[in-house]
Chain A
Amino acid sequence: MANISKKVSWSGRGDDRGERTPLLNGAEDGKYNRHVLNFVFQSLDYDNSENQLFLEEERRMSHMGFRCLETRRWVICGLIGFLTGLIACLIDIAVEKLAGYKYSAVKQNIEKFTEFGGLSISLILWAVLNSAFVMVGAIAVAFFEPFAAGSGIPQIKCYLNGVKIPRVVRLKTLAIKVFGVICSVAGGLAVGKEGPMIHSGAVVAAGVSQGRSTSLKKDFKIFEYFRRDTEKRDFVSAGAAAGVSAAFGAPVGGVLFSLEEGASFWNQMLTWRIFFASMISTFTLNFFLSIYHGKPGELSSPGLINFGRFDSDSVQYNLYEIPLFIIMGALGGVLGALFNVINYWLTIFRIRYIHRPCLQVMEAMLVAAVTATVSFAMIYFSNDCQPLGQDNTEEYSLQLFCADGEYNSMATAFFNTPERSVRSLFHNPPGSYNPLTLGVFTLAYFVLAVWTYGLTVSAGVFIPSLLIGAAWGRLFGILLSTITSSQSIWADPGKYALIGAAAQLGGIVRMTLSLTVILVEATGSVTYGFPIMLVLMTAKIVGDYFIEGLYDVHIKLQSVPFLHWEAPPTSHWLTAREVMSSPVTCFNRVEKVGRIVDVLSNTSTNHNGFPVVILSFLQPGKICGLILRSQLIVLLKHKVFVERASSRLSHRKLQLKDFRDAYPRFPPIQSIHVSQDERECMMDLTEFMNPTPYTVPQETSLPRVFKLFRALGLRHLVVVDNENRVVGLVTRKDLARYHLGKDGLEELHLAQT
């Protein structure tokens, strides 16, 4: 018995091990395999290289200098918050204006044609307007910056996890992202602007903290100290938090988002700075919106950036409603899992067949046109007419075939920007929607949202999820009040809309802590914290049973070597010896330039870190340091050769500043010219290498190695034997390839696209 249970716990299946290999999930060359790790992704150098240059610089720095540094960090965080808030404000206003023009044009047209006939023309007008907006946005994304597609949260998550996603934090990406999201929201797609806000915040942070833009080729000569991966990544986590807080008006939620989704390495001062950035960002947005709305200075004016407050008496809840909320959470988990599964297959199809930019643009346009068509058909065939409200909250109410003085209730849900629709589902008085309307709307919007996420437009999934959830949650509330006789208790379906929205969003993205706080802050109701938390927990537990969260699905599909919180379970029997790559390309302490150039130019390996060994006749040699490709390239560029040392006496010595100037886009090795004579020169790496790299013995288990990577943000980990000789090197990709599949531990392949 013991034997069997052991087998099960290791591999998940017992007997047919002989026929199938347990670790490789059966992929041959050439055949497309979706579970691979992409070769191009590199790690960030979070671990500081404490070489002699660094020590010298630190010695030169005064006490005052360190104080200034700390102050500068705060200034940068403030700037990040301010700029993120400004961008959020820009997006808000632009979307409102553009959508306003579009909806009033379509509304006028519909009103004209309702009377005289020709509504199919209005339909075509709406579809064309939608497609036109989306086309502009999609062209910008597909042809100029494909990395601006999607919500950007998976990318930021990867970046904060320590993966260097190329081009993800560039100014150009930011510009395309902002432009794209304005187009896609104004184009009526089932998308929100919140996810892109988070990405925008991150880009702002990466840009501001560097004090220059490589896209614009402009260097402000400030904040030069922060030009390295460690600092940049800390600021990016602040930027992501600022983005969240600007998107939802949730400063604490932003900090927790950064904590939950991103920063694996965390310290208290950083948290406090991130909070500062978040707060500044929310209130910058509030300030500028208050000016825009003609009430300058009224920072606390409600309704500037949130979903409206739940503080009237009718939206109280009681203890006996908690089980209902939990049921809704489970429902949200199931629906979210369904969403993710469908979107997963759709994304695979897109990766395989729709990878040309023009096809992608066409697809986005088609989705936009179909969205308009479906919305129009729904509105046209809806018989749900409601009297116009007292305060007339619907800005673009359509009458169509309703009696005078009434409006089409389906139109409030469809003929509006998604954010406004969420707000009206939350807060419209009971009886504003028919159950049938809500049911049909949920179904239609679910399909549209699944279809839309993953298009080549920049757009987020937060708002559509909330909208789907709010719709079925409200439906749930209405049905409750009809099946129970006592009207008063279940009176307000608005709170069920809120709970449904939380359940659906939790089921899709599977965030817990941060999402609870975000929703509590965005609706301004602390009393709902408890039910929202329960609902999100239930949704996560139920959803995880079927498939992982949407962002993780997309990270996997992009083949990013992502390190999760912990090593996969049942991996203790794997040791560093099996995990590492070997043999390792090493350099000697004093190495020939020709060899360095050759190794760096070898495109098939593309290594980034090289252990430096003491020259010896024994193979392999004893380790004495680690040097990075980027450092070698800077050294080659400045021609720091031993033979030149005498003639270079007049020159200044190479400083850390030279490395920082080249950061982050180190030139490729091909662009550095090394003549035949120079190839014969020698290069002394002692001064520049990291003299104390982390090493582990060969018998270290995988979880132990994993913990080192995760906690210290390592990029390379040298595996040595008992005489300190280099036998292998562990990198992120070596670790990320193991994951727990259905048949126990599985191994992913490396692939090149």
Chain B
Amino acid sequence: MELLTRFTFVSACLFAEWAVTFIAVANCSISPSEMNGDSALKLPSAVIPVSQKSTLGSFYSLSLSSTFPEDLEVNEYCTELLRIYGQRYVTFANCLVTYARPVRVCQNCYTGFNSLEDIYKNISFDKSAPGNVSCHDSLMRSDRLMLLYTLFIKLDEIWTSAECKQCLNEDQDALSNDTLYFMATLNQSLSCFEQYQRNHTELCKDCKTSYKRLNEVYGRMEKNQMLCIDLEDAMNMTQHLWSKNFRCLLPREETVPVIAVSSFMLFLPIIFYLSSFLHSEQKKRKLIHPKRVKSSSSLMNIQDKFS
């Protein structure tokens, strides 16, 4: 019943929950292929409306009532693994949603991810399971949906594209020192911004040093590939604050010298072409008169043909 209570609370986990319920259904619906056709056809129609109602109790009662042979049932050990997987999945997904905006997922959810990864690995490398069928096969590869796999892979993709691993230390169990240092620098800048909230010109001048240092730290980390989505997002927001909200832009002051140098440069070719036009001697060509039959009259010949 623990699952059910959570379900009512966390709307974001609906998807995951649904999946957990459905995995058992899916599991059931493939096994009849090895049984006689009648019950295989009946079973899904009986199960699906139940799962849509999401009432776990009646589902269990129904599944108990269907008669699977002993060896096709998911054994208890695997069911336990499945339950743990579901719990951890929900915890992690919950964490992701909670820290979605502003992005803080790497800082806050790495424990969740690690535990989820552990249980997933447990299931997929499970060899020591009691009974004939390993949990890996019975839970993950029994149907075409392969839900446990797909669910994990999706989250793993999110985790990879967030590049959270770059912000964590080597064991992936804590934030790395660089990340902590960056966050300290960021906080300095932000507190400076706080201080001068009223006067933007003052802010641009006085917070410049801390902001510049932040930029430097960020640039260095970018070069070393130590950024994750948290830091990128934080930096993005800070930059937006700095440039758009406080309008600390660089002034375009040098228009006159740039125009002067440019027009000087553009003037050079004109001088060049004029001088070469005036001073350079023209190249001459000597025409050659080839030998022709009655060369002077060949023209007349053509003229004759015209008329």
Contact = CB atoms under 8 A, between A and B. Distances in A.
Interface stretch (B21-29, B88-96, B113-121, B296-304): B296-304
A363 interface: yes
A353 B299 contact: no
B252 A355 contact: no
Interface string A205-218: 00000000000000
Interface string A697-736: 0000000000000000000000000000001100001100
Contact of B277 (A353, A377, A573): A353
Interface in B90-113: none
Interface in B211-244: 215, 235-236, 239-240, 242-244
Contacts of B249: 401, 403
B261 A123 contact: yes
Interface string B258-300: 1111100110110011001100101111111111110000110
A294 interface: no
A750 B243 contact: no
For chain B, what secondary structure do more than half of its interface residues adopt (helix, strand, loop), or is it mixed?
Answer: helix
Contacts of B266: 370, 373-374
Determine the interface band of chain B, counting residues with CB < 8 A from chain A: 35 or more
B250 A120 contact: no
B292 A405 contact: no
Interface in A162-204: none
Contact of A363 (B260, B272, B282, B299): B272
Contacts of A370: 265-266, 268-269
Contact of B283 (A17, A27, A119, A352): A352
Given A581-B291, A751-B288, A353 B280 contact: yes
B60 interface: no
A377 B269 contact: no
Contacts of B236: 405
A114 interface: yes
Interface string A348-364: 01011111100100110
Contact of A753 (B243, B283, B299): B283
A29 B269 contact: no
Given A17-B306, A120-B261, A366-B272, A583 B299 contact: no
A97 interface: no
A490 to B, nearest CB: 30
B285 A32 contact: yes
Contact of A376 (B262, B272, B298, B301): B262
Interface string A111-125: 000110111100110
B250 A373 contact: no
B269 A366 contact: yes
Contact of B303 (A7, A17, A404, A406): A17
B288 A39 contact: yes
A130 B254 CA distance: 22
Interface stretch (A18-26, A45-53, A228-236): A18-26
B2 interface: no
Contacts of A540: none
Nearest to B276: A353
Interface in B72-99: none
A403 B284 contact: no
Contacts of B292: 578, 580-582
A36 interface: yes
A29 B299 contact: no
Contacts of A374: 262, 266
A410 to B, nearest CB: 14
A120 B287 contact: no
Contacts of A356: 280
A401 to B, nearest CB: 5
B305 interface: yes
A355 B282 CA distance: 9
Contacts of A574: 302
A273 interface: no
A373 B265 contact: yes
Contacts of A11: 306
Contact of A578 (B252, B262, B302): B302
B38 interface: no
B204 to A, nearest CB: 12
Contacts of B71: none
A574 B293 CA distance: 13
Interface string A731-747: 00110000000000000
16 contacts: A21-B299, A27-B287, A119-B257, A119-B258, A351-B283, A353-B276, A366-B268, A370-B268, A374-B266, A376-B258, A578-B298, A581-B292, A749-B288, A751-B285, A751-B287, A751-B288
Interface of A: 7, 10-11, 17, 21-24, 27, 29-30, 32-33, 36, 39, 114-115, 117-120, 123-124, 127, 349, 351-356, 359, 362-363, 366-367, 369-370, 373-374, 376-377, 380, 400-401, 403-406, 573-574, 577-578, 580-583, 727-728, 733-734, 749-753
Rank and list the top 3 A-B pairs by shortest CB-CB distance, nearest first: A403-B243, A404-B239, A373-B265
